[in-house]
Amino acid sequence: MKKYVIERFMPGVGTLTRDDLHAASTKSCLTLDELGPDIQWIESYVTGDKIYCVYLAENEQLLREHAKRAGFPADTISAVRAMIDPSMRLPRTSAVA
């Protein structure tokens, strides 16, 4: 499966209560259960007016179908090409035989 980042523009989402976010999570998970094993939600980040979601999926169409069924926007869907983190600041070392 490929990794994707979904940007969902949702004005005021950052002011939702924990109960509101729990309800959205439940709705999303129930929809994922309906769609089967070819799509998985990894995590999401809630900001003031957007949610950034990380998913694994066989294709972008599954992500769009999830958004449609669950009633969430999917304004931008981007396939992850590479990942970086602070450990990459050091040069790569050669494997010792």
Residue-wise pLDDT for 31-90, tens only, equals 999 999 999 999 999 999 999 999 999 999 999 999 999 999 999 999 999 999 998 888
Distance separating alpha carbons of residues 11 and 57, to the nearest angstrom: 26
Could you tell me the pTM of the whole model? 0.87
Structure tokens at 56: 């694994």
Residue ranges and CATH numbers for the domains of the chain are 2-82 (3.30.70.3090)
Question: What is the C-alpha to C-alpha distance for residues 13 and 58, in angstroms, rounded to an integer?
Answer: 28
The pair of three-digit structure tokens given for residue 22, joined into one six-digit string? 């729990």
Report yes or no: 74 and 6 within 8 Å, Cβ to Cβ: yes
Q: How many CB atoms lie within 10 A of CB 52?
A: 14
